[in-house]
Structure 1
């Protein structure tokens, strides 16, 4: 990952935490029912997740009490707008944006000397079966402070009112209590330390529960897509919910998404795009064997490209250039079918969200498409960084260089 880090493409927006902030973070962990970290310094993302603590605990989702009970921690206003590197849901970053948009001023004030624990409650204690995910509707985001500073504020305000009552202003005991509270906690009278719960509507989304589930319910018919085969097998036995159920590998899924005007593919237009060139080069890379030159040079230098295209067998060549072959023959006759000449994975990869979809829905569908056919390295990086990082480690070092350059040139 060193090359990615050097190019600022690997978790480059993490926030360093140490000293008092690390102490407050630990208090948040304890308040949420988790064991504190032994680390004195670590980094966090926008939701308060730390890669170092995840490694220490050997649990990527250490801020969760099961799939149905995720949490977040805010210890600094610098978390505003930061990425969520290991989201439980596709809407996690949107929830944090909602929190900071609503309570930016209060968060700035509270985190001067305190920290905030967040609970995302969808009124589900735990998932029992895969289609329980359909219960996701409105999520309540509730807040609590470490050290019960909001309750201490209430006690301080009650002392002030008691001081004002009658002749209590001469009562030395009340004087002492007020001074002790002020010395220990500061003057809390004019601070906003109580954050009312927020509501967040979960419409179509992706969840990591049950090995990964897409819920598409803003379209003609609700569609649920599973990444895990066992969860899919369990779900198709359901006779209660009126939804269409697919495994992500089923070819019928692409057809249904097209029929419902969720995705579209015009090969004549797509073949002229930079995205097509990236996908074609990735397909070419997968076919290369025993190369004498760096992969990066083979993909970028036309002379090398032509040379190595002539070293792969006919079937491999069809997989790489099948779209162009199909379109060329289509000009002569309309008897040719896409699936006769175009590799099925490449065809799936060349689909895109329908232009009628909102930006939020387009992002979700892009994520689904890059998981169906992860052939575009740039879009894989944009829409599923976790999968990108896992795949990246297995690539040829020279191909890694090409990928880094492609991504860097498009940011």
Structure 2
């Protein structure tokens, strides 16, 4: 993995902690959450405060996420909001933490100026012993406070202030006034600068989890649907990743995916050609070709050289690219075709990221989408690649993605990050017929 680490593609954008004051605050928070402390004087943390160096020291990669279900977190600075979440067990975890920090930015900025904020993402499940336990995860509530209990103290002070304002004899209550003054010394003026944390409850209807080999759970589309690597004993419809037809039907019926060739706001032909290049790289790497810095022209030459070995995924995408460029007929590609899921992207919905994550797992030769949308699967695949492919992919991602992440995502997904489609919004005929309907946009 050294190539990825060296190029900032793994453990990148972590927050460096090297101040004795911050280390001491981290230890107080760590002690309150886990009973442990670190002897590290310099380390890095992700959005949740998890540190690879501390995990290595403690010999516990789940020291802030026992059983992988209720993630704890330590905030030393609001700058953590842009950091990744390492070894995420649920696809929703980073988004929830980011929303919580954004919603409480001013309060957290003030609190972390004096202390660490420690907390937990709480749900009703403490262990996921069986796949059915996942269905009990419906709502995530964030509980957080400083190590000195500033938020709790401020809430107590707020109630005393309400008493002082409402009780007619409060002006002569020396005990009440003395208690208020004592608490105010800890919290400051809560009437002018309220120390409260809001927007701390989040729905979790649809998500991916690393438990049980990797499971996608959808509950927003009628009866619950589970998509997993293997058949699971669950009280719901279970589709395996090998059942391509069933997955395609689920995506089509719920309008969760659309063909790249029909997608608005993207250069479909360019994206298709890049996917084809990734497939050529897979074949060429097996023959020991040097691929670092390879241009589109180089990949065409290699594609011709190894044309007899190019898989059906490449051929299907090539046919789609010809159509997108007006140089060929519309190819009929159904879910049985190996290129089918390579030709889709998620439609705009509240689950855009989750669907793109699923599509990335179903189209693993598209290494760029796999890296962006499903890093767990990417790192697992990367470990199995030849050195030639590792060099090519690490170089490509550093040059073409890391240099402009937002721009690349916009080119690939177009609508990524936009608000949900209102149910009342009028749809055109292409939306109505689904990804591979009979009606096509004319050229």
Do structure 1's residue 30 and structure 2's residue 13 form an aligned pair?
no
Is the Cα–Cα contact under 8 Å of residues 281 and 299 in structure 1 kept in the other structure? Answer: no
Structure 2 residue aligned with 1:143: 144
Partners of 1:401 and 1:123 lie apart in 2 by 43
Matching of residues 86-97 of structure 1 within 5 Å: 86-97=87-98
Is the Cα–Cα contact under 8 Å of residues 279 and 366 in structure 2 kept in the other structure? Answer: no
Partners of 2:64 and 2:318 lie apart in 1 by 48
Partners of 1:12 and 1:326 lie apart in 2 by 35
| Residues 377-403 of structure 1 deviation map (CA, whole Å, 9 limit, x = unaligned) | 222222123433444453525413234
Do structure 1's residue 265 and structure 2's residue 259 form an aligned pair?
yes
Alpha-carbon distance, 1:42 to partner: 0.9
Give the 3-state SS of the residue equivalent to 2:43 in structure 1.
strand
Partners of 1:408 and 1:300 lie apart in 2 by 19
Partners of 1:295 and 1:286 lie apart in 2 by 10
Partners of 2:198 and 2:320 lie apart in 1 by 59
Give the number of the structure whose alpha-carbon radius of gyration is greater. Answer: 1
Do structure 1's residue 407 and structure 2's residue 394 form an aligned pair?
no
Partners of 1:297 and 1:167 lie apart in 2 by 76
Is the Cα–Cα contact under 8 Å of residues 309 and 317 in structure 1 kept in the other structure? Answer: no
Structure 2 residue aligned with 1:105: 106
| Residues 286-336 of structure 1 deviation map (CA, whole Å, 9 limit, x = unaligned) | 22267575224655334x733x3344363536553344358989x9999x9
Matching of residues 161-176 of structure 1 within 5 Å: none
Structure 1 residue aligned with 2:43: 42
Decide whether aligned partners of structure 1 residues 192 and 33 sit closer, same or farther in structure 2, where only a CA change above 3 A counts: farther
Give the 3-state SS of the residue equivalent to 1:16 in structure 2.
strand
With structure 1 as the length reference, what TM-score do the two structures score? 0.77
- Structure 1 residue ranges (4+ consecutive) displaced by more than 6 angstroms after TM superposition: 268-271, 326-329, 331-334
Give the 3-state SS of the residue equivalent to 2:144 in structure 1.
strand
Do structure 1's residue 312 and structure 2's residue 314 form an aligned pair?
no
Is the Cα–Cα contact under 8 Å of residues 16 and 41 in structure 1 kept in the other structure? Answer: yes
Structure 1 residue aligned with 2:371: 381
Partners of 2:114 and 2:341 lie apart in 1 by 52
Show structure 2 runs of 5+ residues with no match.
165-169, 406-443
Do structure 1's residue 286 and structure 2's residue 277 form an aligned pair?
no
Show structure 1 runs of 5+ residues with no match.
169-173
Partners of 1:151 and 1:116 lie apart in 2 by 12
Is the Cα–Cα contact under 8 Å of residues 80 and 97 in structure 1 kept in the other structure? Answer: yes
Partners of 2:105 and 2:12 lie apart in 1 by 23
Do structure 1's residue 245 and structure 2's residue 238 form an aligned pair?
yes
Partners of 1:328 and 1:110 lie apart in 2 by 57
| Residues 135-157 of structure 1 deviation map (CA, whole Å, 9 limit, x = unaligned) | 222222112331344566769x9
Structure 2 residue aligned with 1:132: 133
RMSD: 4.1
Partners of 1:167 and 1:297 lie apart in 2 by 76
2:297 to 296, 301, 307: 301
Partners of 2:34 and 2:82 lie apart in 1 by 27
Partners of 1:81 and 1:298 lie apart in 2 by 32
Decide whether aligned partners of structure 1 residues 305 and 316 sit closer, same or farther in structure 2, where only a CA change above 3 A counts: same
Structure 1 residue aligned with 2:249: 256
Matching of residues 61-80 of structure 1 within 5 Å: 61-80=62-81
Structure 2 residue aligned with 1:350: 343
Is the Cα–Cα contact under 8 Å of residues 28 and 146 in structure 1 kept in the other structure? Answer: yes
